[in-house]
Amino acid sequence: MSDRSPTQNPLLQEITALRREVAYLKSVKTAFDAQHELLSSLVTMLQTSNGTLMLRGLLQQTLSIARRLTNAEEGSLFLLDESGVVTESILARGATIRSQKQRLIGEVLDKGLAGWVVRHRQVGLIADTLKDERWLTLHNQPYQVRSALCIPIVKGKHLLGVLTLMHSQPGHFTPESARLMQMTAQQMAVIIENAELYTKFQQAEQELQQKDLHPIEQEFSSEDELTKLGIYIMFGDGNFLYVNHRFAEIFGCTFGELISLESILNLVATNNRDFVAKQINQCLQGQSQRLLCRFKGQRKDGRQMDVKISGTRTKLYGKFVIIGALCEAESALVK
């Protein structure tokens, strides 16, 4: 047996390494499947709801996916602004009157696991809440918690939210489930930030109108905003990282054709290209945090149309991108 050990050990090591790689690839697929599911939900919600209702629906779906992936019994999700103030929240106990909700959130962020995660910007894993001082049992808590997993949802340097998952049995959450959720949270961050952008879409237009920066004459109505928005993620020299079905429909192109374009300028009428290129460059370079302008768009069949575009500069996978929306203006298509 001893003569065979030198041969067996490298083989066992290789098998172990392969198993780890397979497990990692499964986690990557799970994370991207979650992103795809959320992205599909976002597009659907844009057609059925608006504003805060749309955002809350997406947060509910985010929490539901996280619970399913980890077999968690309960969960909560806090959305934070750049100052660390909670702007939206889903509590494990369900609907709660506003004053009580604010008090509970304050306690959790002050003395609980979620607060610890916010301060340290790292995953909080508790095997047994009875033996970990980071866990705070709330007054009249309608569920039992013995193990917990709390994940920061981070986009670049910005903490977008905090996701807490709970189970009544100790040791339910493992380091493996923590790594899976950490990976999944990276994908969730992209979608959540996108959803926040949509809710601020009209506000951005109003602010720029007040500053008289290439004003857009007419705001979207709620119905128009939900049914006519083409969603995109743009980087580099105006290349598309993502467009939704409506964006492709507006220009009479397929998803593949738009993703392979050298630049969005290929969709802009020739005499408008310098202006649009300048607006995009200023946004990507950080000279302007937001992109907002109106121009003549050009469809694949050569027809032209008035379109307006809005977007916000943010960081995605270490690179600056513009995430936003585009729609046809009121005027009809012209030749």
Domain ranges (residues) in the chain: 5-192, 201-328
For position 45, what pLDDT does the model report? 61
Q: Which CATH architecture has domain 201-328?
A: 2-Layer Sandwich (3.30)
Residue pair 202/218 in contact (Cβ under 8 Å)? The answer is no
Q: Residue 235 CB: number of other CB atoms within 10 A?
A: 17
For position 330, what pLDDT does the model report? 63
* Model confidence pLDDT, tens digit, residues 102-134: 888 899 999 999 999 999 999 999 999 999 999
Q: Does residue 28 carry a pLDDT above 80?
A: no
Q: Does residue 56 carry a pLDDT above 50?
A: yes
Q: Hey, what are 46's tokens?
A: 């844009």
Which pLDDT band holds residue 333 (cuts at 50, 70, 90)? very low
Of 111-125, 171-185, 224-238, 259-273, where does mean pLDDT reach its minimum? Answer: 224-238
CA distance 136 to 138: 6
For position 60, what pLDDT does the model report? 87
For position 180, what pLDDT does the model report? 86
| Higher-pLDDT residue of 90, 172 | 172
- Predicted TM-score (pTM) of the model is 0.56
Q: Do domains 5-192 and 201-328 have the same CATH topology?
A: yes
Highest CATH level, class, for 5-192: alpha beta
The DSSP call for residue 334 is B
* Model confidence pLDDT, tens digit, residues 198-250: 666 544 444 444 444 333 333 344 444 546 788 888 888 788 888 888 899 99
CA distance 190 to 170: 32
Of 24-38, 39-53, 66-80, where does mean pLDDT reach its minimum? Answer: 39-53
**Cα→Cα distances 98→61, 164, 196, Å:** 22, 20, 22
